[in-house]
Structure 1
């Protein structure tokens, strides 16, 4: 659903209705969540690459988009929203078709709880900047053990939370917000941090369901226009 662009700045003079613009970095799991959600909702968007490794997030152009210098950021006409959870909740309100939040209040709360475990208690603890600081102070071995420990702590919590709820996906047989957060996090845990997923049978099973979804496959980091293979 994306149109590819490597530039973070749009100089287009087109009079066509504005599309959604996603400012993303291919290796960012937070950006990955939004790509997955946009695909699930069938929303076309322009992809604007922001190379975090080259420091493009600190450019004057991108600072106007997000003064915190993070991706993802989503532009919808004159509105710019940053932070993946805020973006996804905005998309759910503005574009409610193919809903990512269930109607049942209890299931909604559980989806938010699972999403927050990923976004607050797992992913921030293995950010590149955090791991770099740990390696500088304690060495590369401690860096790896720290990341694995924090991911596994979060996964054990998710396993307990979802064990009695999960069907094909995290909270049943429909794909919802929890899945949008879980799919990239599990993929990163396996590929980047060598997490043994046999400890987490529920998460392993639902991850296999994600891998069968074209919307997930299209959102994979290596399929993005700024990917370096």
Structure 2
């Protein structure tokens, strides 16, 4: 079976993709990973969070699992990592399906995202979310995960890892998907990214918001199956 790697979003973990993994297991060899500092993985001691670091996490995982090539589904930040990986290691990635991935990074956009990443305010106003993050990332302190994520977003605001020119160089099959009610990722930025892709497809999910858990697993797995069904079984490295 074809190899399919699922990449989680910012503040997420492999466990958030477990229902999707199970739904796709009959058709693909499905893998999930935790990025550095996520899902209980050790926080990088001497290194900040970055798209480059997370891409290296994927490459190391593929080498450990002896995976020569993979299809990638990436949710939110995971989609950004998947596209960056395809740019840096084109022979290792056969296709990328992104969902709710932010492409239009600027200082203003980063500031908007970072404003929501305040551990103290989250503990005060949404303690249930804080408790969930604590459980998800234990034994690592979720506050540090959030601080490092905020710093990475600020870096993306000044130096995006993916530019329109970089997207235009990606020749592999790519589908970018966004919900029409997503308040974090605009339809406009997703369309702009799609138009830069030489072999791109666009999917707009109706009545769909940003959080992954609000999207029916059956719907998402169906869309992934439809996308991958159109890709040749063998793509030259």
Of structures 1 and 2, the one with the larger relative CO (CA 8 A, separation 6+) is: 1
TM-score by length of 2: 0.31
Q: Which structure has more strand as a fraction of its residues?
A: 2
TM-score by length of 1: 0.31
> Between Structure 1 and Structure 2, whose CA radius of gyration is higher?
1
